[in-house]
Amino acid sequence: MAEVASEEHELRRVIDEGREVDGLGENELLAIHRSLVLLRTYDERSVVYHRQGRIGTYAIFWNHEAMQAGSVHALADGDWLFPSYRESAIGLLRGMPVSTVLHWWRGHPAGWWNPADYRVASICVPIGTHVPHAAGLAWGEKLKGNPTVAIAYFGDGATSEGSFHEGANFAAVMQAPLILLCNNNQWAISTPVDEQTHADTLAAKAAGYGMPGVRVDGGDVLAVYEATREAAERARAGGGPTFVEAVTYRAAPHATADDPRAYIDLERVEEEKQNECLGRYESYLRRLGVLDDARAEEVRQEALELMRAGIAEAEAEPEPDPELLFDNAYVLPPPNLREGWSA
Ligand SMILES: Cc1ncc(C[n+]2csc(CCOP(=O)(O)OP(=O)(O)O)c2C)c(N)n1
Ligand SMILES: [Mg+2]
């Protein structure tokens, strides 16, 4: 079995190399920080809300925030995002209300939005099925002559799915302006990446489609930013899709219903926690003299306040009509579905 360990393959890094990214001034660096804090706060509060029974099962994205914030900041507002459940709150970075995403995790219809409003597609739970959607949208935008790029987020496990292959191949053949952002957190629930593929790296798969493949440190928000910006520039210039493998290690359970102690490397989890992406970025900003304690605290409080207001708003929403379960599903619901149904 091919060994895939992040240390053994060159990963693009910015923070650990102490580099600076061209074109990123203080305001942009702080905007990225704000996004990271917003996502981190959303995630940590959501785990608490789940334990309190206020939202349902929740897919934790702790320490995945750098991949999400780094890539969104590298794109234009008009570019399209196609999230999986792991990027459920990515819409917040496009101005989507916190309550909308909380509604989604509460199974409330107010958690659906019109994708065109934010250029954020529906959260995709079936693994990889959004990759062809993103490829099709990107190709369509190209045919219309629009300078739009689409980005599809998916995990290491998704690279074993047929729809990943179909979307990647289609995008390459059509030279669609698509970024395939693979969050390689090295686990698909309890399946490790070395049982997922015999390839040396996931980025190596790009060659088979005839597209560039790059590997970045997924905990380095600026490395993700830089790689995504390059991919977007290439896509906009007609250079077609890019596969970006962002390597990290899942330091939290797959979701609130999972107990990873049965299978995960707990020492490695501890190492990852010590080196988590928000702390790494904050240290970098402090070294640059861009962030101080007061500013960090202000950003954290602002995010916490947004979450408090968001959950209050979500809980104030009236319960949905149970009849909605049948809307758009059946013209005439089968009688057995109606048995015992009093509505
Ligand atoms: C088509 C399909 N098959 C199986 C599942 C069940 N499932 C949910 S999450 C998951 C693992 C996905 O792992 P990965 O692609 O690495 O993403 P990650 O959860 O690590 O972000 C599986 C198999 C599903 N949601 N959809
Ligand atoms: Mg995974």
pLDDT tens for residues 171-190?
999 999 999 999 999 999 99
- Residue 61: is it exposed, middle or buried by C-beta count within 10 angstroms (0-12/13-18/19+)? buried
Q: Which atom of ligand 1 is nearest to the CA of 159?
A: 15
Whether the predicted pLDDT of 339 surpasses 80: no
Confidence of residue 340 (pLDDT cuts 50, 70, 90): low
Cα 105 from Cα 99, distance rounded (Å): 10
Beta bridge pairs of residue 151: 81, 179
State mean pLDDT over 267-296: 97
Whether the predicted pLDDT of 6 surpasses 50: no
State mean pLDDT over 88-93: 98
Q: Which residue has the tokens 């529906």?
A: 122
Confidence of residue 9 (pLDDT cuts 50, 70, 90): low
Instruction: Output the CA–CA distances (angstroms, integers) from residue 40 to 62, 65, 136, 152, 175, in the order listed.
Output: 7, 7, 31, 21, 35
Q: Which residue has the tokens 């925030």?
A: 65
Measure 278 CA to ligand 1 centroid, in angstroms.
25
Tens of pLDDT along 50-72? 999 999 999 999 999 999 999 99
Confidence of residue 331 (pLDDT cuts 50, 70, 90): confident
Hey, what are 260's tokens? 């990873």
Q: Which residues have C-beta atoms less than 6 Å from ligand 1?
A: 86, 125-127, 154-158, 183, 185, 187-189, 254
Topology classification of domain 26-317: Rossmann fold (3.40.50)
Closest residue to atom 4 of ligand 1, CA basis: 127
What's the pLDDT at 323?
81
Closest residue to atom 19 of ligand 1, CA basis: 188
Measure 193 CA to ligand 2 centroid, in angstroms.
8
Candidates 198, 144, 156, 147; CA nearest to 180 is 156
Decide if 260 contacts 253 (C-beta within 8 A): yes
State mean pLDDT over 266-272: 95
Candidates 58, 53, 190; CA nearest to 125 is 58
Q: Which residue has the tokens 């560039």?
A: 212
Cα 72 from Cα 119, distance rounded (Å): 12
Whether the predicted pLDDT of 16 surpasses 90: yes
Q: Where are the domains of the chain?
A: 26-317
Tens of pLDDT along 305-315? 999 999 999 99
Measure 188 CA to ligand 2 centroid, in angstroms.
4
Q: Which atom of ligand 1 is nearest to the CA of 193?
A: 16
Whole-number average pLDDT of the chain? 95
Active site residues: 250, 254, 263
Decide if 219 contacts 63 (C-beta within 8 A): yes
Closest residue to atom 8 of ligand 1, CA basis: 127
Q: What is the DSSP string of 63-90?
A: T-HHHHHHHHHTS-TTSEEE-BGGGTTG
Q: Which atom of ligand 1 is nearest to the CA of 196?
A: 16
Whether the predicted pLDDT of 76 surpasses 90: yes
Measure 154 CA to ligand 1 centroid, in angstroms.
9
Ligand 1 pocket test, candidate residues 85, 129, 181, 189, most atoms within 8 A of CB: 189
Candidates 165, 164, 151; CA nearest to 236 is 151
Q: Which atom of ligand 1 is nearest to the CA of 127?
A: 26
3-state secondary structure of 330: coil
CB burial of 214-253 (b: ≥16 within 10 Å; e: otherwise) equals bbbbbbbbbbbbbbbbbbbebbeeeebbbbbbbbbbbbbb
Q: What ligand is nearest to the CA atom of residue 157?
A: 1
State mean pLDDT over 7-17: 83
Measure 246 CA to ligand 1 centroid, in angstroms.
17
Instruction: Output the CA–CA distances (angstroms, integers) from residue 93 to 18, 203, 303, in the order listed.
Output: 26, 26, 12
What's the pLDDT at 326?
79
3-state secondary structure of 126: coil
Q: What ligand is nearest to the CA atom of residue 62?
A: 1
Whether the predicted pLDDT of 5 surpasses 60: no
Whether the predicted pLDDT of 333 surpasses 90: no
